[in-house]
Amino acid sequence: MSKIGLKLWNINTDFYLEEAKKLYHEGIFSYIELYIVPDYMDKLESWAKLNIPFDIHAPHYAHKMNLSKKSSKEHNYKLYEQVKKYADRLNADRIIFHGGSGGDYKETANQLKEINDSRILIENKPYETLKFVNEDYYVGAKYEELDYIIKNAGCGFCLDIGHAICAANSFKYDVYGYIEKLMNLRPQRIHLSDLIVTSTIDQHLNFKEGNLDFERIFKIIGNNIPITIETNKSSKENLNDYKKDAQFLAQMIKGEF
């Protein structure tokens, strides 16, 4: 049966730390996927004290990591050194990277190959960028790019369902058919949230706030791959909306559609 993950940021120690500990011991989730905001190494020991299994998510464009551009290579590697310290200290199973934006997917593959960390997963992206991203497109929206990166960097794959749907809409593909195609890349992790399935921009809606066909999704992905919930959190005082989403997801995993 699929394990369920909680997505948090390393800077969330002031409000989600104790709540996460409580929900973990209640059996609501099985691991934390921790996004690393750079230059907060002082937060590391607070997470280590939880004694919870972790995945790590490397910084992305919002925090100046862009693997698709050679000009960013030196800075990317400096950020990776911080990521590695988190991953090593927390005994992380996987480190998830975005492919970058506005650059060359072959450069992404080269940089990940040079990093040479057996825990690396490349995550698929939408094609159209968010407003704050000063680039025209994301790398890793296309199947062929992902296939190349996985083969040439020797890494694994994280399938983001919402990103796949957004990319499919940009390319005028059938959205569920594109997810089926991406499953050929043998994902080791799934990212899941709800959205309006005609959108080209990821929305991270809480489950049942969009119109994603969850029954169809689970017929495609099965129930054996760990799934990280990436839905919105409305409160900085509790994780009640996450708990509701996790309970819904647990029913989906059991086939209780």
CA angle at residue 49 from 18 to 83, to 5 degrees? Answer: 105
- Residue 55, classed as helix, strand or coil, is strand
**CA 7, CA 158: separation in Å to the nearest integer?**
14
Distances in Å between the alpha carbon of 23 and those of 20, 106, 141, 226? 5, 41, 33, 17
- Residue 208, classed as helix, strand or coil, is coil
Task: Answer positive or negative: Cα dihedral of 125, 64, 67, 36.
Answer: negative
**CA 199, CA 208: separation in Å to the nearest integer?**
16
Domain interval for residue 249: 4-253
Q: DSSP H helical segments within 172-225, as ranges? A: 175-182, 214-221
**Whole-number pLDDT of residue 222:** 95
Domain of 94, CATH number, reads 3.20.20.150
**Whole-number pLDDT of residue 62:** 86
Q: Whole-model pTM above 0.95?
A: yes
User: What is the total count of domains within the chain?
Assistant: 1
User: Could you read off the pLDDT tens digit of each residue along the chain, which spans 257 residues?
Assistant: 899 999 999 999 998 999 999 999 999 999 999 999 999 999 999 999 999 999 999 999 889 999 999 999 999 999 999 999 999 999 999 999 999 999 999 999 999 999 999 999 999 999 999 877 788 899 999 999 999 999 999 999 999 999 999 999 999 999 999 999 999 999 999 999 999 999 999 999 999 999 999 999 999 999 999 999 999 999 988 999 999 999 999 999 998 77
**Whole-number pLDDT of residue 228:** 98
